[in-house]
Every structure is written in structure tokens, then in C-alpha cells.
Structure 1
Amino acid sequence: MEAIHHKKVLIIGCSGAGKSTLSRKLAMRWGLPLHHLDALFWNEGWIPTPKPEFREMLKDVVAQPEWIIDGHFNSTLEMRAQYADLIIFLDFSNWLCLSRVTKRVWSYWGQTRPDMAEGCPEKIDMNFVRWIWRYPKDVRPGVLDILRKTQADVVLLKTSVEVERWLATTPQRNTKGGVL
């Protein structure tokens, strides 16, 4: 079985694609520290961290020897991609992403979900819905440009079945860093 050599992993995609779910599974499987961009960027009451401060926080995270970072955040994607050795792009349909976000809002309404900063209860608005709907046209082309330029290994997954198949084929790291 192939040794796990990925220690700096980005999981990107549209809201609702399943980035946080996959990142939790992969963090447990590979024993890597997990960082959710939403939890780093947002402060109580949905107050954003100023962009220069956010970039500095991310520089500290990517300088660490091992990590999984999930989240999209266009403004820092290129910088994070420079440090990654594996980028997983969940390239799902906007219909699926929108339906998952709707389900998530319903499930967590008035509560803070586990991958979000404390004090940011789940919500949805038309700007967020529009961003999800327009993601394939407005955001995806830029993501693909970054992926074409990166030195990292890239895994592009388009369906939940592909995600589960890929995850099932990844070896599990034991506590000493080897492969089980």
C-alpha cells in the first residue's frame, strides 16, 4: 500500500459541497490538524476578521508542518494553494450545493454549526443564495486557473459517490505516521 505523503491539504468548493464533512473524515483518517476557514474568518455576530489580519492568521497556519484547511475564500486561495501538497476540489452542481445549504440551515437554524465561529448562528440570505447559484460561472473558472498552476497534487471530485470512493481508497495513517 502507498505511503501517505500529503501533510498539507486544502479542501475547496462551493458552499454546501461537503468540504467540512470531508475534512473531518480525512483529519481523523490521517491524523492531521484541521482548520475551518469559516471559524478563522468570522467572529461572534458574523463580524468578519479584517482581511490583512485574516491573511496573517492564515500565514501562521500554512507555516505549520501539517494541516487540513477547508473553505473557499477566493481572496486567499492562491496563497494557500502555494503551500498545499494536495488540493481536493469538490466540484459539485449548484443545485446540489444549494439543496445542501438549505438542509443545513434547516438543521442548524439559530445554532452555530461545528465548523463555524462561536456566536454565528446559521442563516441564509439572497446574496449567499446568489453566490452559490453563480459559483460555476463566476468562481469556478478562477479556481481551475489556480489548480492548473499549482505544484500540488489535485483531486477533482464531482459527486458524493466519487468522494466516498476516493476516501475508501486512501490509506489510514497510524499513530506513528506510517500506513495501516
Structure 2
Amino acid sequence: MAQRILIVGSCAAGKSTLGAALATRLALPLVHLDQHYWRPGWIEPSTEDWRAQVAGLVAEPRWVMDGNYGGTLDIRLPRADRIVLLDQPRRLTLYRAVRRRVLRNRVDELYGSPERITWPFLKWIWDYPARGRRILLEAIAEYAPGTEFVRLRGPDEVTAWLAAQPESGEGLARKTAGTRRSSR
């Protein structure tokens, strides 16, 4: 079973949602990179600080990590033993990004940095299939050519793939304990 799973894809593709579900199912620690990157008020860390922080995160023996951050792919890809690309339709990711902002319902809530929608952000989402995906696939070929690679091209594929993942004993125990609590 994979112990270090990296989930990548366009913004609002469902990386954090899948990451949370997969981490629970496999009983692996969850790392939402957005929570580590953004400082309150959308302040970015220095490149050196960010790379050092990511190096520390990937040094852990077990994790499910979600996020893009192309400037650290050279650190993250070689450590992953499975890479999952959420290659969702761009209209779906645009819709989800706007909905997430309107409903304020991020799975990986960014405290002190409320969700915002800007034209450059929407353009980045729209351009992801042509630019971001290409850069990611090139980085995988360079830094992790032999790593297990899963490409999920729609919500139904994501659901089916997640359901096919084996549940660890610990993940099953968490799920069962949660069911018991809710049935009282």
C-alpha cells in the first residue's frame, strides 16, 4: 500500500476533498499544502522558507499531501510513491471555485485568508489544462518517472477510484467509531 500519496490538479479540482477522504480511508496523516503556504492575509512565505518547510513535510514517512506549488515539485515528486492527478473539466473547476467562494466552504479552511476570486485566478484555472497540466506532466517525467501514477478525469472516476482503495484497519476503526457516535 502506498504510504506517501501526492494529489495534484487544477484549483477546485477536489484535491483537498479527495485528500481528506483518502487519508481517513488509509489512516495516513493529511497535509493540505495551502494551510502551510498561506500566512494570514494571503501573505506568501519566502521561496527559501517554503522549500525548507516542504522538505520537512515530505521527509515524514507517511502522508497524503494535496496541492500544486510547482516550485516544490522537485522536492515532492521523488518522495511520493503514488501521484494522483485530478484532471477535471475546466468548467467544473471554475464552477467549484466560484461556489466555494460564495458558500465559503473550503475543506482546507485557510484561517485569516478568506477565499477570494480575481480575474487572474479564474484565468489560471481556465488555462490549467493547457499550461499547468503540461508543466506537471513534464515534472513527473523528470523527477518521478517510475512512480505509480493515477489520472482521474471526472467526478465519477474519482468516486470509483476512492471506493476501490483498501481501507486500513485503523481507517475502518475511525469510520466505525464515527458511525457509532452518530447513531446514538
Determine if the TM-score, normalized by the shorter chain, exceeds 0.5.
yes
Unaligned ranges ≥5, structure 2: 173-184
Q: RMSD over aligned Cα, in angstroms? A: 1.6
Range with greater deviation from structure 2 (84-93 or 73-82): 73-82
Counterpart of 2:74 in structure 1 is 78
Deviation string for 1:64-100 (max 9, x for gaps)?
1101110111111232001000000001121111011
Query: How is 1:36-115 mapped onto 2 (pairs within 5 angstroms)?
Result: 36-108=32-104, 113-115=106-108
Using the TM superposition, give the Cα deviation of residue 114 of structure 1 relative to its aligned residue in structure 2, in angstroms: 4.3
Deviation string for 1:18-71 (max 9, x for gaps)?
000000000100111111111111000110111110110111111111011101
Using the TM superposition, give the Cα deviation of residue 148 of structure 1 relative to its aligned residue in structure 2, in angstroms: 3.0
| Equivalent residues, number | 170
Contact 1:113/1:121 (<8 A) preserved: no
- Please give the TM-score of this superposition, normalised by the length of structure 1: 0.90
Structure with the largest fraction of helix: 2
Residue 9 of structure 1: which of 5, 13, 26 is its match? 5
Contact 2:16/2:107 (<8 A) preserved: no
Using the TM superposition, give the Cα deviation of residue 163 of structure 1 relative to its aligned residue in structure 2, in angstroms: 0.5
Give, in whole Å, the separation in 1 of the partners of 2:50 and 2:76. Answer: 12
Give, in whole Å, the separation in 2 of the partners of 1:10 and 1:104. Answer: 22
Contact 2:93/2:125 (<8 A) preserved: yes
- Corresponding residue SS for 1:136: coil
Counterpart of 1:126 in structure 2 is 119
Contact 1:105/1:122 (<8 A) preserved: yes
Give, in whole Å, the separation in 1 of the partners of 2:17 and 2:68. Answer: 14
- Please give the TM-score of this superposition, normalised by the length of structure 2: 0.88
Range with greater deviation from structure 2 (140-149 or 46-55): 140-149
Identity %: 37
Q: Which runs of 4+ in 1 moved over 3 A?
A: none
